[in-house]
Amino acid sequence: MKLLKEDRINYLNIGLMLITAVLAYYFPFETFLLAYAYLGPLHYLTEISWLHDRQYYAKGKWDNIALWIVGILLSYAAFAKDFGFSKDVYDYFVEMNLFDKLLVFALFASVLFALVKNLWIKLGAIFLLYLFVGGWLSPERALANSESTTIFALTALIPTLIHVYVFTGLFMLYGALKTRSKSGLWQIVGFVLVPLVLVFSLPVDTQKGFLSNYGKNAYYAKGDGFYNTNYLILDHFDLIKEQKLTNKEYLEIITKDGNKDYFLRNKLIDSAAFLAHTDSISKIAERSFVIKPMPINKANLAPEFQFDHLLYFFDTSSRYISSINEYRFEPLPKKILKSRSKKEIDALIYFSEFGIMLMRFIAFAYLYHYLNWFSKTEVIRWHKVPKVRFIIVIVVWLASSAFYAYDYSLGLSLLFFLSFSHVLLEFPLNIVSIVGIGTESLSIFKNGFKKPVKS
């Protein structure tokens, strides 16, 4: 029996999943890097073009302007950092936590864009949403929010892994339910099972895994690459094995002369600065010390503990005492003492068991995200656009590929606007997919798995 076009595409995609899994298993870093550099830009351009012709799946004709503005603001701040201009703008974004605020605001506002048509209701709700997000993600709450998995998912995973894996899966599931496609449901089964086998069932060889110099250098990309995202994921979900010290143990270690050589050798304390600081502090009679002096190299601290002085003392007059005191009699959390060198972090990301498992999943999620999009060209019909627009898309894609080939870090910087904006502009479609899954599931529950009659 001849397969329908839709079934052929679905079974083709199952095959593409298997091919993607093989590449992600043997060459996880290189698979991701090549897919992101050479398939990614073509995906951004064609998807934005496709969304534009469908009014970005928003109820209002001009709703998408808000998402474009967020993309422009975030890109300007990112460009300011990468190319060394308007440093004050970038510093302000960091100080006010605007990167996170604008991203979360765009996601929540997209719920309104996708579901609400009345302009005045949207404007009022957006104003309240702005106040809520501004308070929830305010700099004053940074310490408490740093431990929140919800906020980590919204700010670090939504534009990366949730976008390419979870939202892709939801879009596929909505399509399968809407068309009542059994092959589409089998595609979803493969989409879940293949990465589970890839990550958790296949052996991990931390000694003989393939990693080229290109893979290592491009993934770090002069500090601008995805290297930091991997580390944040490993750190946030406690996938890094390390010893914890109580504050009492830590203080005893750093105040004993016998251990001073170790800390000098590892640059955890500066002996001369320590002695000079203790001498100057001891002359201030009105300063009341709570416990013994605790020297800390600020380079080894998380950002929320970057103090003005190289060495810090627990004293009752300090404005930092309230944030530090909570850890005085508890095991020292990883977020306070950050003493890893880049060599140690390299080992975690490139050669540890969890690091390799994570990278396999990232490589699978990104490459298949792109392949799924291009494999459904005849269904989605993203190529049916005016010739001038199509030529512009091809020219920009070729230029993007050249930038990545010349310098991966430069490519990331120049393509930031397109890559991030396409994530933002897709938010209303993601909301439509989620609502559609619920609607179609209810219809199937009531009427059975039969194709709906077209009106």
Q: What is the pLDDT of residues 150-187, one digit of tens each?
A: 999 999 999 999 999 999 999 999 999 999 999 999 99
Q: The whole model's pTM is what?
A: 0.80
Task: Tell me how far apart the alpha carbons of residues 106 and 439 are, in angstroms, rounded to a whole number.
Answer: 24
Nearest Cα residue to 276 out of 234, 235, 310, 323: 310
Buried b (16+ CB within 10 A) or exposed e, 120-129: eebeebbeeb
pLDDT of residue 241: 67
Residue 451 — pLDDT band, cuts 50, 70, 90?
confident
pLDDT of residue 416: 96
pLDDT of residue 340: 58
Mean pLDDT in residue range 204-230: 90
Residue 313 — pLDDT band, cuts 50, 70, 90?
very low
Residue pointed to by tokens 């393509």 = 415
Nearest Cα residue to 82 out of 224, 194, 221: 224
Asked if residue 216 has pLDDT above 70, the reply is yes
Rounded percentage of the chain residues whose pLDDT exceeds 90: 62
Which one is predicted more confidently, 451 or 397?
Answer: 397
Task: Tell me how far apart the alpha carbons of residues 316 and 312 are, in angstroms, rounded to a whole number.
Answer: 12
Task: Tell me how far apart the alpha carbons of residues 301 and 313 are, in angstroms, rounded to a whole number.
Answer: 15
Find how far residue 330's CA is from the centre of its chain. Answer: 30
Strand partners, 331: 246
For 108-117, 138-147, 175-184, which range has the lowest pLDDT when averaged over its residues?
138-147
Per-domain boundaries in the chain: 5-239+342-447, 247-325
Asked if residue 328 has pLDDT above 60, the reply is no
Q: Find the distance separating the first CA and the last CA of the chain, reported in whole Å.
A: 29
Mean pLDDT in residue range 83-95: 89
In whole numbers, what is the pLDDT of the chain averaged over residues? 82
Rounded percentage of the chain residues whose pLDDT exceeds 70: 76
Residue pointed to by tokens 């944030």 = 323
